[in-house]
Amino acid sequence: MWLTTHCRIDFQVGLPTPFIFMLRPGSDDRQWVAEDALSVEPAVPVTEYRDTFGNRCQRLVADPGPFSIDARARVRTAASAATAPGAPFVPVPDLPASLLGYLIASRYCEADRLGDRARHLVANEWPGYDQVRRINDWIRAEIAYRPGTSNVPVSALETLARGQGVCRDLAHLGVALCRALTIPARLVVGYLHGLEPMDMHAWFEAWVGGRWYAFDPTQAEPRGGRVAIAYGHDAGDVALFTQFGPSLAPTAMTVSVERCD
Amino acid sequence: MWLTTHCRIDFQVGLPTPFIFMLRPGSDDRQWVAEDALSVEPAVPVTEYRDTFGNRCQRLVADPGPFSIDARARVRTAASAATAPGAPFVPVPDLPASLLGYLIASRYCEADRLGDRARHLVANEWPGYDQVRRINDWIRAEIAYRPGTSNVPVSALETLARGQGVCRDLAHLGVALCRALTIPARLVVGYLHGLEPMDMHAWFEAWVGGRWYAFDPTQAEPRGGRVAIAYGHDAGDVALFTQFGPSLAPTAMTVSVERCD
Amino acid sequence: MWLTTHCRIDFQVGLPTPFIFMLRPGSDDRQWVAEDALSVEPAVPVTEYRDTFGNRCQRLVADPGPFSIDARARVRTAASAATAPGAPFVPVPDLPASLLGYLIASRYCEADRLGDRARHLVANEWPGYDQVRRINDWIRAEIAYRPGTSNVPVSALETLARGQGVCRDLAHLGVALCRALTIPARLVVGYLHGLEPMDMHAWFEAWVGGRWYAFDPTQAEPRGGRVAIAYGHDAGDVALFTQFGPSLAPTAMTVSVERCD
Amino acid sequence: MWLTTHCRIDFQVGLPTPFIFMLRPGSDDRQWVAEDALSVEPAVPVTEYRDTFGNRCQRLVADPGPFSIDARARVRTAASAATAPGAPFVPVPDLPASLLGYLIASRYCEADRLGDRARHLVANEWPGYDQVRRINDWIRAEIAYRPGTSNVPVSALETLARGQGVCRDLAHLGVALCRALTIPARLVVGYLHGLEPMDMHAWFEAWVGGRWYAFDPTQAEPRGGRVAIAYGHDAGDVALFTQFGPSLAPTAMTVSVERCD
């Protein structure tokens, strides 16, 4: 399916402020960005680089006053989610070396403290995809999805304690539980067609049966219509924007995803 | 300055043909691609990857019949060329390791056979930028620029023997002579605003004084208005399109570069 | 100076256990590993890969029973520490893109919660090297260095609260305070000649004046004789060994560093 | 099997000469370098970096006078060659993007001029491994292996014309013929246990059935006991030594490979 994605963020800047944005989806073997436009107002120089995950990052310095950034893309992506019940767990010795970093506990995914819970949770599941599905279902059942309730990233343990969270928090918990089982897992931020209420979104991916599969504990069923913007160990790697200087919240943010086949 | 670039290539395909295209300029610290669109007709799946030089490459399989690819971009780039008379030669031991590959002879740049000529040519120049400028001027004076006279890449030695060539051939000679002096040099393909006649273009860059500088032996004066699409050791790395299967020339190709400030 | 480094770690393994070790220093432009030997007993297959930081990582599966790994190297490294009083702070917009990741808060370096303290601490220092030196001196004065007091990594905030820590903990605090000032900083693990008591060591590096400088809050004076094994954002990236399966502490560990000019 | 490899090269240097050496085998998932020592005499500073293929490269500047470099390693490698009759050809659209560069003609492997010959040669073979084996057998039958007959790299076309060559020349021909069939192929330099006469060696690898397989047209049967030092598109990428300045042949070179299980 073809989707048109759009995100605009407005700021009121007090001092000249260096920013790093991650707002441009990239093309790879799972999604194809046929068109792509990014503009800033007022116009300041922008440069782009790739981080160690391959994500596209935009750098600029915003001057004092109103500042907005606007990112649009036309993207082809799978209309339905890839699922693979029974896809097997891959033992650590058989994992590609490039995936081993996705087994390590990280700031928001304290996998090293969730081993007992993770093992208990999946005790009756076939190792691999079915375990991750069980984790995803359990999060959906146990942790209330409350869009808009947290502004800063919350860790898996905190999310567990609170019993609720935004999409990113639920995804952190999914990542941490997978890693606790030595299943490689990563956080994804991007767009989801049909998300209610529409907003930037986050979900997680787990590597079973020899490839990455998307899981989304905020949704009742596996869904396609996803456009990934950035991948990382956790939210620390994939902030939509990072600013250096006095703290600065957006004054407005609009997101839309339209079908355009 | 802001430029709108456009390239369209048409083929008449006989058998299903895998293609690799390099038609999308990337953003870096020297040019900023604010908008970018690539379409193919008929619509077939396209994926994108980065080669070892960081160039964006598009993969697809074209079906039999007419096939066209169309790439547009809106790019900010420097309006005038960076020049640096007197910028010093950097001795090999002081070069960053990532540049050493740009000293090695390659298929179309037989630097290992041009040492005497290169040394003779720059004997009276200050080592570094001035040597490269001398090389560039000499090529411009001695090798006739004949757009449209070669279809396949021609090496530096062949170009020297023929005394004429297309932009790419002249650039190969520039690269080879620089490397013969242990000055890192690379081939660039892309767009040049105001090129007459308009076409895809090629030039070369040499690394002196701690950075890359563009040189273009087809032009009377250093010029800005350049949008790079791909960098490489020589034309073998930066073909606009590579096809696998029976040889297949484009039936049509149009290129334009318009100012859009 | 030339150093011979040696580390041996013994385990008593209960179940077949996948391990990742980081025990082999690599050669780069700051240290030269002329000889290098790594052996395991009993002999099991070992493979090696590089992580995203370029660190050498060894993978293997240890069988039940006693297991030991032994790493030796002969390395040339600087005899005295590079210092650069007055070396300037590099503003964020001027940092190479590859360093931006070293500004982000990480699991054990909560830079985002230490801004006020960091700014207060360096208020009277010239921005750059002198600020980092002040941070280093302050840690040395305020946080007691207690080799052997922690087994698992402790974060900068926890270290501050405890008022004491091992080398790694003090280094985490240094990293976090630097990042809070938008100075890129990273954790280093390796060997230090003359360390008392001898053990594997950790320190930190800060990027000021256009390069990395080493700082070590456990030592009274800047010291050379360092052999780096691994670099990372924090201890999460540079564990000497990572095991998958039931927790397993070494039964013995010996470390030595001898001069061998 | 465990092998001890040794290579020593002596030069008589006239002017201070920058060198790049590739003399240290690296560990990967196919060979394990347990011990590794590299020394130079007289002792000058050496640094090491990885090229874009991941090969280990040593940089130094040799002073006037006698200069020697000595590389030893103890390596575990497969005792017998991996073979896979029937392993299938992988169509271009299914190749991993990282392999596409191994399809392109290069300086010493003019694949673009060998299409007819290659297709004719393998007309009766099952696409994939069997085609490469046929190419290898054909080279062995048609091109005389004459150790020591060429000093500079010779291209596939030249080798074909001469009807004889050193190991590297025969390997170039194998690489070029494979690429002409759109089978990814690369040149390997390294050690071969039992080679007669003992010397540094070169062979090629082709990617069929989802992995690289080694082929060696200098040997009657597939053989193990190989220690790879460097991989590349052709000899231009994998010179054992590259010097910058007046041409300089080794005054002596000794190579040995001993079994040490």
Q: Which chains touch A (3+ CB pairs under 8 A)?
A: B, C
pLDDT of residue C151 exceeding 90, the answer is no
Which residue carries 């990239």 as its tokens?
Answer: A26
Closest residue in chain A to residue C247, using alpha carbons only:
A112
Closest residue in chain C to residue A239, using alpha carbons only:
C104
- In 3D space, the residue among C77, C81, C21, C79 whose CA is nearest the CA of residue C51 turns out to be C21
Cβ pair D35:C32 closer than 8 A: no
- Tell me if chain C has a CB within 8 Å of the CB of A197: no
- In 3D space, the residue among D58, D79, D56 whose CA is nearest the CA of residue D69 turns out to be D58
Distance from the Cα of residue B235 to its chain's centroid:
7
Cβ distance D203 to D140 under 8 Å?
no
For residue A29, name the pLDDT band (cuts at 50, 70, 90). confident
**Closest CB to A29 among B38, B47, B74:** B47
Looking at beta carbons, which residues of chain B come within 8 Å of D118?
A: none
pLDDT in single tens digits along all 261 residues of chain B = 999 999 999 999 999 999 999 999 999 889 999 999 999 999 999 999 999 999 999 999 999 999 999 999 999 999 999 999 999 999 999 999 999 999 999 999 999 999 999 999 999 999 999 999 999 999 999 999 998 776 788 999 999 999 999 999 999 999 999 999 999 999 999 999 999 999 999 999 999 999 999 999 999 999 999 999 999 999 999 999 999 988 788 999 999 999 998
What are the residues facing C72 on neighbouring strands? C6, C37
- In 3D space, the residue among B187, B188, B199 whose CA is nearest the CA of residue B257 turns out to be B199
CATH code for the domain of D247 = 2.60.40.2250
Contacts of residue B143, defined as CB under 8 A and 6 or more positions apart, other chains included, come to B159, B160, B163, B164, B165, B169, B170, B173, B217
**Closest CB to A36 among B36, B58, B76:** B36
The structure tokens listed for A197 are 């209420």
Supply the DSSP string of C153-197, one letter for each residue. ---HHHHHHHTEE-HHHHHHHHHHHHHHTT--EEEEEEEETT-SS
Pairing of strands A185-192, A226-232: antiparallel
Residues A98 and A199 both lie in one domain: yes
Residue B204 domain flag: yes
Cβ distance B238 to B22 under 8 Å?
yes
Closest residue in chain C to residue A155, using alpha carbons only:
C107
**Closest CB to A104 among C61, C91, C236:** C236
State residue A150's pLDDT score: 64
Angle at A175 between CA A201 and CA A237, to 5 degrees: 60
Residues B159 and B201 both lie in one domain: yes
Phi, psi of A237 (to 5 degrees): -95, -15
Residue B86 domain flag: no
**Closest CB to D47 among C28, C46, C48:** C28
State residue A207's pLDDT score: 98
Residue A84 domain flag: no
What are the residues facing D9 on neighbouring strands? D69, D253
Residue B87 domain flag: no
Residues C105 and C209 both lie in one domain: yes
Phi, psi of C161 (to 5 degrees): -70, -40
State residue D150's pLDDT score: 64
Looking at beta carbons, which residues of chain B come within 8 Å of A61?
A: none
Residues B52 and B104 both lie in one domain: no
For residue A58, name the pLDDT band (cuts at 50, 70, 90). very high
Residue C160 domain flag: yes
CA distance C240 to B17: 50
Mean of all residue pLDDT scores within chain A: 95
State residue B150's pLDDT score: 64
What are the residues facing A7 on neighbouring strands? A71, A255
ipTM over 0.95: no
Give the distance between the most distant pair of CA atoms in chain D.
57
- Tell me if chain D has a CB within 8 Å of the CB of C70: no
- Tell me if chain D has a CB within 8 Å of the CB of C146: no
Residues A222 and A255 both lie in one domain: no
- C-D CB pairs within 8 A amount to 55
- B24 three-class SS: coil
Cβ pair B106:D101 closer than 8 A: no
Residue ranges in chain A assigned as alpha helix (H): 115-121, 129-142, 156-162, 167-180
Which residue carries 């100076």 as its tokens?
Answer: C1
Residues A129 and A72 both lie in one domain: no
pTM of the model: 0.93
For residue A261, name the pLDDT band (cuts at 50, 70, 90). confident
Cβ pair B236:D103 closer than 8 A: no
**Closest CB to B52 among D49, D52, D107:** D52
Looking at beta carbons, which residues of chain D come within 8 Å of B92?
A: 18, 244
CATH code for the domain of D219 = 3.10.620.30
Cβ distance B163 to B180 under 8 Å?
no
Task: Give pLDDT < 50 ranges for chain D.
Answer: none
- In chain D, the number of structural domains is 2
- D173 three-class SS: helix
CA distance B217 to B237: 20
Which residue carries 């030669």 as its tokens?
Answer: B89
Cβ pair B48:A27 closer than 8 A: yes
Give A45→chain B minimum CA distance, Å. Answer: 8
Looking at beta carbons, which residues of chain C come within 8 Å of D33?
A: 48
- C205 three-class SS: strand
Of residues C151 and A74, the one with the higher pLDDT is A74
Cβ pair A105:C236 closer than 8 A: yes
- Tell me if chain C has a CB within 8 Å of the CB of D144: no
B247-256, C32-41, C128-137, C170-179: range with lowest mean pLDDT: B247-256
Residue ranges in A65-166 assigned as alpha helix (H): 115-121, 129-142, 156-162
List pLDDT tens digits, range C39-75. Answer: 999 999 999 999 999 999 999 999 999 999 999 999 9
- D144 three-class SS: strand
Phi, psi of D227 (to 5 degrees): -125, 110
Which element (helix H / strand E) includes D180? helix D167-180
Closest residue in chain C to residue A103, using alpha carbons only:
C244
Phi, psi of D188 (to 5 degrees): -125, 135
**Closest CB to A47 among B32, B48, B54:** B32
Residues D114 and D200 both lie in one domain: yes
Residues C19 and C111 both lie in one domain: no
Residues A100 and A192 both lie in one domain: yes
State residue B175's pLDDT score: 98
Residue B7 domain flag: yes
Residues C7 and C64 both lie in one domain: yes
Q: Which long-range contacts (CB under 8 A, 24 or more apart) does D197-203 make?
A: D197/D147, D198/D255, D198/D256, D198/D257, D199/D147, D199/D255, D200/D7, D200/D240, D200/D253, D200/D255, D201/D167, D202/D166, D202/D167, D202/D168, D202/D171, D202/D235, D203/D167, D203/D171
Cβ pair D48:C26 closer than 8 A: yes
Looking at beta carbons, which residues of chain B come within 8 Å of D47?
A: 97
Angle at D168 between CA D163 and CA D173, to 5 degrees: 55
CA distance D120 to D130: 14
Residue B84 domain flag: no
Q: Domain range spanning residue A40? A: 2-78+240-259
For residue A134, name the pLDDT band (cuts at 50, 70, 90). very high
- In 3D space, the residue among C206, C201, C200 whose CA is nearest the CA of residue C186 turns out to be C206
Residues D27 and D114 both lie in one domain: no
Residues D230 and D102 both lie in one domain: yes
State residue A152's pLDDT score: 83
Cβ pair D51:B107 closer than 8 A: no
Residue C54 domain flag: yes
Above pLDDT 90, what percent of chain C?
A: 94
Above pLDDT 70, what percent of chain A?
A: 100
